């Protein structure tokens, strides 16, 4: 009995394995990327569920169209104003979380040996999804304004097999950084010049704690080459599994074919519940609540890092999203810190896994959305103690 070649490239996500360890209630975990569950609108959803099942139960429990429930797609189209563009409803495909959009992107664009260009570091879940298509990864260094555009052009100029550029311009996972508008424009310019698709992954953009939401890369797209991935996982509930892909028809029809073979459609009932929630309640108001809580948590984490971490450690000040990113001196391996941290009942994710080609083991990612203020303070204190002992 033989497995396909691609199975050699896949292994269990380190984060998911870590999350299992970090599940013990005594552990203060900064490891996952979990929203704060106390903010989930459970009471509202009870009402929403009842209305959906009473008024449209037969439709809600039946098969539905592959591309998704049209009223929900209409509302998503409207919401994209936030990111500076106005897609047509037929340019939207509902997916099971934006993770599915990542998986589909690889399947639509990549053959074995093709190159996907990404930020260094990049989102681990994307790296793993892409790996199933057996590509090579070329990582482009990033600074506080996003990807290094000179380096990107060098790669596009010299490498033949580049098939797709993957970016997370807003509160990047794992780095917490946000791209400048100039870099966004320059990215489009280069993608146009080298005739490449861009996958713009934006799960956190609406969770901006200060300043204005910058226009998305997609908003500068005049040639229909940006595939925009969105989700309600961070603004509403990840357990619903509702994300979306927005792309021009010539691209989106390929995603639709893949969707059809993959799982026919996303759950009709959760799509209708999400839609009904958007009709009955104000999601933006809900997002304001989330932002208020996360902003405080970010502030407390950053303050605690300042206070408790060794002074030769650097970290991102994220203007939104869920994560900050810590860089240790080069001789310190975050994977070695992890067991010590767990002994002290605190967890994080070592940063090495976010670099598809390895290295950079002196980094780690911290999540601040899922722990209470007290726990954040206490956890960072413990972690600071461990770091000081090891450095």
How many residues in the chain?
A: 391
List, in order, residues 6 or more apart from 64 with CB less than 8 Å away.
265, 268, 271
- Least distance from a copy of itself to the Cβ atom of residue 242, Å: 9
- Of the candidate residues 79, 254, 308, 381, the single one contacting a copy of itself (CB under 8 A): 254
- Of the candidate residues 29, 99, 120, 175, the single one contacting a copy of itself (CB under 8 A): 99
Q: Taking contact as CB under 8 A, which single stretch among the options 92-100, 179-187, 326-334, 351-359 is the one that binds a copy of itself?
A: 92-100
Residue position matching structure tokens 């809900």: 286
Rounded Cα distance, 49 and 272, in Å = 9
Cβ-based nearer residue to a copy of itself, 55 or 292:
55
Residue position matching structure tokens 């489009």: 188
Would you say 133 and 112 are in contact if contact means Cβ atoms under 8 Å apart? yes
Number of residues that bind a copy of itself (CB under 8 A): 81
Using DSSP bridges, classify how beta strands 323-327 and 226-231 pair: parallel, antiparallel or unpaired: unpaired
Cβ-based nearer residue to a copy of itself, 2 or 210:
2
Tell which positions 160-189 bind a copy of itself, by CB under 8 A: 163
**269 near a copy of itself, judged by CB under 8 A:** yes
Site map 283..322 versus a copy of itself, x via CB under 8 A: ----------------------------------------
- Of the candidate residues 120, 175, 202, 267, the single one contacting a copy of itself (CB under 8 A): 267
Tell which positions 214-243 bind a copy of itself, by CB under 8 A: 225, 237-241
**336 near a copy of itself, judged by CB under 8 A:** no
Residue 187, number of CB atoms within 10 A of its CB: 24
Q: Which helix (H) or strand (E) holds 154?
A: helix 149-158
For residue 362, the Cα-to-chain-centroid distance in whole angstroms is 22
Radius of gyration of the chain (CA): 21
Would you say 35 and 240 are in contact if contact means Cβ atoms under 8 Å apart? no
Cβ-based nearer residue to a copy of itself, 13 or 345:
13
- Of the candidate residues 29, 142, 202, 265, the single one contacting a copy of itself (CB under 8 A): 265
Q: Which of 190, 242, 227 is nearest to 68 (CA)?
A: 242
Tell which positions 32-71 bind a copy of itself, by CB under 8 A: 32, 34-35, 37-38, 40, 42-43, 45-46, 49-50, 53-54, 57-64, 66
Q: Check whether the bond before 121 is cis (ω within 30° of 0).
A: yes
**330 near a copy of itself, judged by CB under 8 A:** no
């Amino acid at each position: 009995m033989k497995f396909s070649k691609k199975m050699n490239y896949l292994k269990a996500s380190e984060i998911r394995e870590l999350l299992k360890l970090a599940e013990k209630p005594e552990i203060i975990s900064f490891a996952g990327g979990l929203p704060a569950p106390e903010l989930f609108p459970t009471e509202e959803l009870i009402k929403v569920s009842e209305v959906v099942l009473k008024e449209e139960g037969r439709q809600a429990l039946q098969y539905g169209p592959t591309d998704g429930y049209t009223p929900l797609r209409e509302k998503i189209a409207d919401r994209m104003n936030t990111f500076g563009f106005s897609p047509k409803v037929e340019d939207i495909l509902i997916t099971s979380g934006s993770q599915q959009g990542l998986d589909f992107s690889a399947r639509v664009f990549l053959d074995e040996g093709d190159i996907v260009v990404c930020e260094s570091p990049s989102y681990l879940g994307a790296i793993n999804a892409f790996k199933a298509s057996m590509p090579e990864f070329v990582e482009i260094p990033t600074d506080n304004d996003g990807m290094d555009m000179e380096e990107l052009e060098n790669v596009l100029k010299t490498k033949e097999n580049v098939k797709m550029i993957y970016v997370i311009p807003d509160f990047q996972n794992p780095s917490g950084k946000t791209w400048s508008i100039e870099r966004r424009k320059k990215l489009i310019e280069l993608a146009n010049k080298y005739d490449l698709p861009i996958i713009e992954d934006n799960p956190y953009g609406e969770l901006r704690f200060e300043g204005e939401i910058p226009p998305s890369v997609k908003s500068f797209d005049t040639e229909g080459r940006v595939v925009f991935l969105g989700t309600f996982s961070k603004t509403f509930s990840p357990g619903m599994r509702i994300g979306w892909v927005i792309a021009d028809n010539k691209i989106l029809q390929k995603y639709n074919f893949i969707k059809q073979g993959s799982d026919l459609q996303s759950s009709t009932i959760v799509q209708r519940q999400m839609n009904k929630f958007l009709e009955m309640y104000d999601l933006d108001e809900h997002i304001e609540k989330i932002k208020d809580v996360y902003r405080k948590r970010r502030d407390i984490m950053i303050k605690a890092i300042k206070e408790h971490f060794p002074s030769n450690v650097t970290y991102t000040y994220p203007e939104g999203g869920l994560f900050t990113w810590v860089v240790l001196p080069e001789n310190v391996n975050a994977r070695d810190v992890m067991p010590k941290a767990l002994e002290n009942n605190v967890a994080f994710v070592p940063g090495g896994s976010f670099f598809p080609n390895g290295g950079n083991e002196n980094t780690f990612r911290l999540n601040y959305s899922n722990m209470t203020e007290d726990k954040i303070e206490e956890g960072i204190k413990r972690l600071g103690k461990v770091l000081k002992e090891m450095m």
